[in-house]
Amino acid sequence: MRSLMLALLAATLVAFTVPGALAQSDIDLGGELSGTLAFVAQGGGNFTVGLCDSLNGNRKCVGGDTVIGKATGDGQFNGDNGFYTLTGNALTTGTFTGCVGTTCSWTLSTASPLNFKMTAGKFGGGIDYLNGTLKLIGLTETPNGKLFSETMTVDLTVTGGSLAGLFSDNHGQVIFNVQTQTTVSLANSPNGRGIQGVLLDGDMSQAPEPGTMALLGSGFLLVGGFLRRKLGS
């Protein structure tokens, strides 16, 4: 019984401390300082979204393809602070997959990914921390008062920068939190309607290393082995 309890304790520590350590090492992406996101409804709940410097009175993009915000490192990235820049003129397509209650979801796909750059200076000067590309994967939307909040999941492929070596297999993951400036869900927006999406904040983290996941799994296998022997005896 004592051995079983020790095994359970060890597995529990692995389960909670390993993911916790991973979660502490990330780069907090602040809200947009310049630029925005421009959604355009395509009917049937579908839409396109792209980067935009500014919108006109009809909420249509009238310039550029750049968004800039602050970036702050935590954990392994502590002290690596500066600004991030998103650039790219390709539109991402959101394909409506349905709603469960008040939460709606879409799959996202684009012909070419967005470019990501994190530097010490606001306009690309100083230390070159991180370069890469962002591939948008999915979006969920929930009501937030009279407006709607969107969460975008994004894959990061690292291509360079002083922090590149901290990303296993040059891969990471990003979550962007967006708020659309409309009282109508993207799922119900009429075809051709332009909608501003304000980038509120984001989080960039390392993808879990295979060794870390194997360690987590081994803890549970150890417990399973003890339970099987105890129950079988």
Q: Average per-residue pLDDT in the chain?
A: 83
Position 123 scores a pLDDT of: 81
> What distance, in Å, lies between the first and last C-alpha atoms of the chain?
12
Residue 203: beta bridge partners?
28, 175
pTM confidence score: 0.79
CA–CA separation, 84 vs 50, rounded Å?
17
In order of 96, 125, 186, 192, the CA distances from 46 in angstroms are: 5, 38, 8, 11
Report the percent of the chain where pLDDT is more than 70.
78
SS3 44: coil
Confidence of residue 56 (pLDDT cuts 50, 70, 90): confident
Position 215 scores a pLDDT of: 40
Q: Which residue has the higher pLDDT, 24 or 188?
A: 188
CB atoms within 10 A of CB 200: 16
Confidence of residue 45 (pLDDT cuts 50, 70, 90): very high
CA–CA separation, 153 vs 179, rounded Å?
14
Whether the CA torsion 175, 181, 193, 53 is positive or negative: it is negative
Confidence of residue 119 (pLDDT cuts 50, 70, 90): very high
